[in-house]
Amino acid sequence: MYARCVIFKIILFIIAFTILFWFVKLHNILPQSKLANDIKSIPTLFGVGNFLFSIISGFVIQAQWRKWDILMDATRGEVSTLRQLYVVAHHFPIKERNDIRYHIYKYLDTYIKVNSAPTKHDLSFRSKKIDEALIRVEDTMFDVSTRYPDIGTLAFTYLTRAMEYREIKLQSSTHRLPIPIKIFLLFATASVIIGSLFLPFKDLMLNYYFTLIVALLAYGIILIVDDFDHPFRPGIYYLSVDAYKSLRSEIKNKLEYYNFIFEKADKKEEKNGHDK
């Protein structure tokens, strides 16, 4: 859906730019007679402006890309350590093993549901439902660790690492591009697009083609920066929940294999929640 939205935005931009270009050229808003003495200086100044724009946008994209890498590593790390906890749970007695795996499953399920809700909570910030599900995992692990300290200590270490990855993800995702920089990028992009209309060409079609390419490149930078700035919004750079879904499905299948009754566990969990 988001891919279609991006294509739609680009098509709208091309249409708008085409209308602007031909309006400017056909109505002689920028008469060539007035630009005749500046034919040589205009491309040079425009080239310098584009060079400065590319340097600034390059630094912004690099910073955003670094944030994206941190978010990706934290997401993979969280899922990986939860999977390790799920595997280590095999060493506990069947009741404790199922309890651990069930609460990991509930945490994953809650995270996925919050992400896919129509009026979903922005996962860049804390969700009360997700935090409560994680607390239940922590309570279960703490209780099991006190009764089985040998393997419990190792298992609790995995949970601690998963919680640390979640904190890294939350902290990194709140680092948004400052509004002044956003405004500056928009202004710089508009300057590049409008400036491209001053390029001197005898052939109008060649003029249209090259100015459209320049305008599309400038507009594309804005789209990329905006996409990086919203990592939980479906897009090209999007922190999807596919890995969470895969682990949730794996745990569910394993619990069903051992005839675990989800409805009974859900009711017990609901009752405990009311009691608190």
Model pLDDT for residues 106-161, shown as the tens digit of each residue? 999 999 988 876 555 556 667 888 999 999 999 999 988 888 888 888 898 999 99
State residue 4's pLDDT score. 60
Share of the chain above pLDDT 70, in %: 85
Residue 274 has pLDDT above 50, yes or no: no
* Longest Cα separation, the chain: 89
- pLDDT tier for residue 76 given thresholds of 50, 70 and 90: very high
Three-class secondary structure of residue 232 per DSSP: coil
Residue 222 has pLDDT above 60, yes or no: yes
Give the distance, in angstroms, between the CA of residue 19 and the centroid of all CA atoms in the same chain: 33
Distance CA 93, CA 46 (A): 72
Average pLDDT over residues 212-239: 82
State residue 40's pLDDT score. 59
State residue 100's pLDDT score. 93
Residue 61 has pLDDT above 80, yes or no: yes
Of 154, 152, 110, nearest in space to 135 by CA: 110
State residue 218's pLDDT score. 86
Average pLDDT over residues 201-230: 84
| Greater pLDDT, 269 or 87 | 87
At CB < 8 A and 24+ separation, what contacts does 40-47 make? 42/198, 42/199, 42/200, 43/199, 43/200, 46/195, 46/196, 46/198, 46/199
Of 67, 110, 72, nearest in space to 239 by CA: 72
State residue 36's pLDDT score. 53
- pLDDT tier for residue 82 given thresholds of 50, 70 and 90: very high
